[in-house]
A and B are shown apart, each in its own frame.
Chain A
Amino acid sequence: SVLLYQKPNRDICQSGTSLKIQCVADSQVVSMFWYQQFQEQSLMLMATANEGSEATYESGFTKDKFPISRPNLTFSTLTVNNARPGDSSIYFCSSKTISNERLFFGHGTKLSVL
């Protein structure tokens, strides 16, 4: 299994500002994924981040708005640029082991944009 730790647990920011969410894995993982979840709704895959390469973004999510870094096999950051109230949601980092298709999730970062 993989344990994923996210920081911060929650954040409140003003519209137009940027904030950064960190995710640390307790073991090396090939891919890290970032998901967005609006209040008790479905989970939407935002992007996939592999070490040393540009993140791959899903439809509706862009690198300019949600830049992601993956400097090593245990760490990733998601930045929310020019935050808007519509970005208010919970952001999860996720990963999987090589031998299993099971996804593991962090506890999430709840973002509120005023």
Chain B
Amino acid sequence: QQKVQQSPESLSVPEGGMASLNCTSSDRNFQYFWWYRQHSGEGPKALMSIFSDGDKKEGRFTAHLNKASLHVSLHIRDSQPSDSALYFCAASSNTGNYKYVFGAGTRLKVIA
């Protein structure tokens, strides 16, 4: 069983809308999360990290972590066509461990 599960597999939202992506870790040791975004033909780029319970906001992106349920979400408000990409959730067992396990990804399409 994959340690990091993402949902949905794909998502379409209208331009200006809100996109919500979900991620759950099945391993209680994996409590530190990053969100990465990968545009077609490029390498993944880190969007933001979240290590503590609650919300973390960076511009149009808000991550929410619930450590009790090991669930993390990413919300993108005012979605733009340039946000269309593959989004990965990555989880690690501690902040000093580079061994992040990546989920299978969510394909986001923002429709103009």
Contacts and interface: CB of A to CB of B under 8 A. Distances in A.
Q: Do A and B bind each other?
A: yes
Contact of A43 (B2, B32, B44, B46): B44
Interface size class of B (residues with CB under 8 A): 20 to 34
Interface stretch (A62-70, A72-80, A98-106): A98-106
Interface in B26-64: 32, 34, 36, 41-46, 49
A101 B45 contact: no
A103 B98 CA distance: 8
Give chain A's interface secondary structure class.
strand
A30 B100 CA distance: 17
Interface of A: 4, 31, 33, 40-45, 48, 92, 94, 96, 101-108
Interface of B: 2, 32, 34, 36, 41-46, 49, 86, 88, 90, 92, 95, 98-100, 102-105, 107
